[in-house]
Structure 1
Amino acid sequence: MRAAEMDGLELAAEHLLQVSTQLAPHEEGDLARSGEVSTDASRQQAAVSYDRVYAARQHEELTWQHDAGKQAKYLEEPMHTERDIMLQLLAGPLREELGE
């Protein structure tokens, strides 16, 4: 079951990465390309992160102008708007494990 939990968690995190990357501000694409999913099976955790020095500032600065379809809160917003999809992705491998 733990392996199925991690599979679902990773699927959900990969979905979040995909959606947040589409929303991330884009000048040269460095920010979007820096996104990654990291997991820790021993803690049953997954994280989505962007590793550019300006990533947090780009995320938090609501007054900056962005190209159409790009925005601040590029990671936080999809955590809310994609919640139901991520829960379904999380549950999928568990359902398979249980034979449902």
Structure 2
Amino acid sequence: MTRATVTWTGNVAAGLAHDGAARGLLLGMEHVLGESKKVVPLDEGPLDRSGTASVDEGRLVGAVSYDTPYAEDQHENMTYNHLPGRTAKYLELPMAEETPTVLDLVAAEIRRALR
């Protein structure tokens, strides 16, 4: 009779994959932030400088946000006249357009973590 010993490391692999996903998600959110800064309305720059990317690593939830009192109004009010190339929906549009890139970044980091 032949015997074999198998060591299950599924929990380790799952942890590594989770950590990779968190790193990839942060890279993805930073990418979206960079793309949104290309179209964020400019006046003197406080809105642009208030942008940040963050990730809740436990829940694997990423966010890009702008933190000025008028950030939401600038994003939602489609009647404002912005400089050429700058627009309302400065976060919504890049987030939608860059979703494939974000997913690629997450997948790459998971692959890297599992090597």
Pick the TM interval, shorter chain.
over 0.9
What are the ranges of 5 or more consecutive residues in structure 2 without an aligned counterpart? Answer: 1-16
* Length-normalised TM-score, structure 2: 0.82
Cα displacement (A) at 1:83? 1.6
Cα displacement (A) at 1:97? 2.2
Flag as ranges the 4+ runs of structure 1 deviating above 3 A: none
Distance in 2 (CA, whole Å) between partners of 1:90 and 1:2 is: 10
- CA deviation vs aligned residue, 1:45-93 (integer Å, no higher than 9, x gap): 1211000000000000111111011000000001111121111111111
Aligned AA for 2:86?
Answer: K
**Structure 2 residue aligned with 1:65:** 81
Structure 1 residue 42 and structure 2 residue 55: aligned? no
- Aligned to 1:14, which of 5, 14, 30? 30
* Length-normalised TM-score, structure 1: 0.93
**Structure 2 residue aligned with 1:80:** 96
- Aligned to 1:4, which of 8, 12, 20? 20
Give % identity: 43
Count of equivalent residues: 99
Q: Secondary structure at the match of 2:86?
A: coil
Distance in 1 (CA, whole Å) between partners of 2:70 and 2:51 is: 13
